[in-house]
Structures are given as C-alpha cells and as structure tokens.
Amino acid sequence: MSTRYEQMADALAQHIDQGVFEAGERLPGVRKLAQQFGVSVSTAVQAQQVLESRGYIEARPRSGFFVRVQSWQTPSPPLLPKPSKRPTIITGQNLAMKLSQVTHQTGIVQLGAAVPNAQFLPTRAVNQSFIKVAKQYPQCDARYMFPPGSLELRRQISRRMTYAGCQIAPDELVITSGCQEALMLCLRAVSKPGDIVAIESPSFYGLLQVIESLGLKALEIPTDPQSGISLSALQLAIEQWPLKACIVVSNFSNPLGHCLSDESKKQLVQLLSKHTIPLIEDDVYGDLAFDQSRPLAAKHYDNYGDVLYCASFSKTISPGLRVGWIAPGRFQEQIEYQKYISSLASPGLPQLALADFLSRGGYDKHLRQVRQRYAQLVQQFSRAIIEFFPEGTRLTQPAGGFVLWVELPGECDSVVLYQQAMEHGVSIAPGIIFSAKQKYRNFIRLNCAQPWNRDTELAVLLLGKLANKLAK
C-alpha cells in the first residue's frame, strides 16, 4: 500500500496531467499544500520530492517548485512485421527461462519478467489469511485437494466471474497451479503433438514454451497493438489449416497491452464456434483496467461451451502462491482428468488462504489502488522512454496491465541490448522471445510494475544510452 506522501504526489501528478497546473506554473507553497491535503508539512515536502524525482516539477532557487515543461508527445504505436503464414515448430526458448530466473537475483532492476513488485501486492493481508486457515484447518496439508479444487475458493471465483460478464457455477471451475498450468491443461485437452494452434503475434513467451513442450505447431496471426488479433487473417488461417485451438489474451494482452472490443470478442467466439475450434482465453490481466471498469471476457459470448477460460491471481494478489483456474465449458471432464494425471492436485493451504482473503473483502479496494498506480507508472515509463530513447522509438499505450512494448530503430538488436543491460544490473525482455519465428529483434518489453525511484529512473536512462549507441 502506498504511503501518505506517495498518495499526495499521485494526486498532484494527476492534476498536472489534467492541466490543473500548467507547464511553467508555480505550485502553491508547501504550507498551503499541506493544508489543502490535510497532511503535515513534512509529508508535503516528501510529496514534492517524489514529484521532482518523477520529473513533474523542478526547484528554482528562492522561488519554490514549478511545473516542469515536458517534451511529452503522444507516442506512435509500434509497426509490427507480418508473421509467417505457415505453422512453426517452436525452439530456442532458453532465453525466456533465463529471464525468469533473473528475478531471484538481488541487485537487479527487474524490468524484464512481468512480475509485480511486492509493494503493489496485498502481502500482509494474505499472510493473515494463511495464519487463520492454518489454525482452522490444521490437517489441510495431510491430504490431497483433488480436482476440481477447493469448493470455498471456487465459490469466491464464481462470484468474481460475474464482473467479467460470466455466470459460472463453482462446479464449472477447476483450480490450477497458476495460469501457465491452466494453458497447458487446456492445450493437452484439445490437441495432440503435431497439431496446429493459432496464436497472437507477438505472443507471451510462456505460452510459446508450453506449445514447444507439447510438440505443437504455432501459427502466428497478425495482431494490431491497438485493436488486437486480426479476425480476417484468422478466418483465412481457418480456411487453410486444420487448427485445433486458438489462444488469445483478451484483455490488456501481454506484450501489446491492447483490449479486444466487445464486438471483436463476440465475433471471435462466433467465428471459432462456427468451425468447432476451441478458444483458449487467457484473462490474467483482466482485473487491471486503468479506468477502473472491468472489461467483459470473451467467455461472456460463449453459448456452446467452446471457450476454455483461464486466469490466475498471480498479477494481482501473489505470483508465488501459484493459484489459477479454468472455466472449461464442455471440456470439464477432460480438464479435470488432465489436472489429475499431471499433478494430482494443487496445494490446499494457498487455496484456502485465498478463499479467506477474498471472502473478507478488501480485494476491490486493493484493485482500485493498484490500477491507479499502474496507470501512473506506465505513463512515467512512457515519458522517460520518449525523453531518453533514440529518435524514432515507438511504444504502445495500454489501457490496463503494466507492460510496455517498445519498438527501437531497426539498427538496435534487442538481444545485444539485453546482454549489455544485464552487465549493468538491468533486466529487460528482448522481442525475439515473443515470436515462434524469433521475430521482433528490434523490440523490447518492459515491466512497469516497479516503484519509480532513483534506481528505476537511472535504469531507463541507461537503456536509453545503450539503445542510442546501438542505433548509430
């Protein structure tokens, strides 16, 4: 949870973004600000220091703080190369695993793996739930919690699914060990080695690893950074290839950050259902809309049980608990069986702890706070990228989640940039790991769910310097 002075800084930053305080205008004195926000003078001073570190204001000797003149311009969206029109066997995902392993290292500015910083997670409240359920269920770890998983948790998830426009009964849910396992179980239920599955391009590297491990072939479908997967291209792919499934991140996709419109979701479900092709929907970022409105899931338009809906609490509550779920529609029996033969069951205590945490309320308040924080952080990162990175850099403007997809000038090799940045203690995600054909060599993805402090700002500045050298 953010401190009082951070909340005040956030509010002032919003005023500046909205034009309440214009560029070059002097901010009210510290005592007046303290009175206006109902805080101490020291808190107001700290808030000013935060705004100065973020680049919103600047101090002028004996004159106070003034709104900094920003060289901000709306960034241009990336121009994505056309993906291959043929299915591809995925190889070479070792770099993606190294990227995940880096998160365990201390002294690294973690802008690579899409893992939220601990300060943006309700860790204390979750720990309290663990203590409570450990006393309440002392024998929990002495038994398996076989599929479909904890009834208490499934009831809580069922209630939350209504926010996504889905009326899903607890018995229609299967608990998994995170969304990664959910995707794997879905693909195992609807395909076999050698089959072809359609994916977005670029696509989350974790999905590519799953496809590779199952011996499947990926057919990359052109995906627009603003509107999402091309339905016309998907239609052509269906006519040309025997697709066994289509996998889409419907809301605030990783890495592009787009959110499919309701009409596109409806057309996507109808198109695939017409050809009896299952849709595997990954909605792990759905709760993180910047405007506080939870978008509908594509599952909302599923009339025949053709959509296998996957999600988890890894991006909002805790990545370490590894708790996700599937609403598998007509594939319920296959999913439960696949879960059973792959791992028998997911750990019971984390399921019960999350059920308790959700039942006590507070999750929606947490979401409101973290959504606002991520919106501000994405904007701060965007401003810094426009200021420090080479001319011609383009980036996405997501409406939710916390990742940015950045296109560097063509001369910039993101793998070289990744290696050079790691030598200076900064982790990024190079673009090639988001493609089955290892495209996007001059693209990077940045994780913005990190506190904007001096270390983070210096890391972005460093990336800009390195990218400028590569662009020459």
Residue 237 lies in a domain: yes
Residue 162 lies in a domain: yes
Gap between the Cα atoms of 228 and 308, Å rounded: 19
Residue 80 lies in a domain: no
Q: What is the pLDDT of residues 117-157, one digit of tens each?
A: 999 999 999 999 999 999 988 877 778 889 999 999 999 99
Range of the domain at 443: 88-120+365-471
Structure tokens at 339: 């879960």
Averaged over 290-317, what is the pLDDT?
95
Claim to verify: residue 254 and residue 309 sit in the same structural domain = yes
Contacts of 299 (CB under 8 A, 6+ apart): 164, 165, 166, 168, 281, 283, 307, 309, 327
Residue 83 lies in a domain: no
DSSP 259: B
Claim to verify: residue 264 and residue 381 sit in the same structural domain = no
Claim to verify: residue 109 and residue 202 sit in the same structural domain = no
Mean pLDDT of the chain: 90
**Strand runs (DSSP E) across 14-86, as ranges?**
57-60, 64-67
Claim to verify: residue 190 and residue 314 sit in the same structural domain = yes
Work out how many domains the chain is built from and give that number. 3
Averaged over 162-181, what is the pLDDT?
97
Claim to verify: residue 193 and residue 335 sit in the same structural domain = yes
The CATH number of the domain holding residue 397 is 3.90.1150.10
**CB 87, CB 238: distance < 8 Å:** no
Q: Which of 327, 362, 397 is the last residue of a domain?
A: 362
Residue 169 lies in a domain: yes
**CB 23, CB 69: distance < 8 Å:** yes
State which amino acid sits at residue 75: P
How many other CB atoms are there within 10 angstroms of residue 159's CB atom? 13
Q: Which of 302, 337, 362 is the last residue of a domain?
A: 362
Claim to verify: residue 358 and residue 391 sit in the same structural domain = no
Q: What is the pLDDT of residues 305-358, one digit of tens each?
A: 999 999 999 999 999 999 999 999 999 999 999 999 998 889 889 999 999 999
Q: Which of 362, 384, 400 is the last residue of a domain?
A: 362
Averaged over 243-249, what is the pLDDT?
98
Q: What is the pLDDT of residues 42-79, one digit of tens each?
A: 888 888 887 876 677 888 776 788 887 554 456 777 87
Claim to verify: residue 264 and residue 306 sit in the same structural domain = yes
Claim to verify: residue 201 and residue 161 sit in the same structural domain = yes
398: Cα separation from own chain's centroid: 10
At 331 the pLDDT is 98
Claim to verify: residue 387 and residue 358 sit in the same structural domain = no
Percent of the chain with pLDDT over 70: 92
Residue 95: pLDDT band by 50, 70, 90 thresholds? low
The residue written with tokens 């001073």 in the block is 45
Contacts of 319 (CB under 8 A, 6+ apart): 115, 116
pTM of the model as a whole: 0.83
At 71 the pLDDT is 45
Q: Could you give the 3-state DSSP secondary structure of residue 220?
A: strand
Gap between the Cα atoms of 175 and 315, Å rounded: 16
Contacts of 18 (CB under 8 A, 6+ apart): none
Residue 81 lies in a domain: no
Residue 73 lies in a domain: no
Claim to verify: residue 175 and residue 255 sit in the same structural domain = yes
The CATH number of the domain holding residue 188 is 3.40.640.10
Structure tokens at 106: 């201390």
- Higher-confidence residue of 26 and 167: namely 167
Residue 82 lies in a domain: no
**CA separation, residue 4 to residues 48, 65, 409 (Å):** 12, 20, 40
Claim to verify: residue 377 and residue 356 sit in the same structural domain = no
Claim to verify: residue 246 and residue 306 sit in the same structural domain = yes
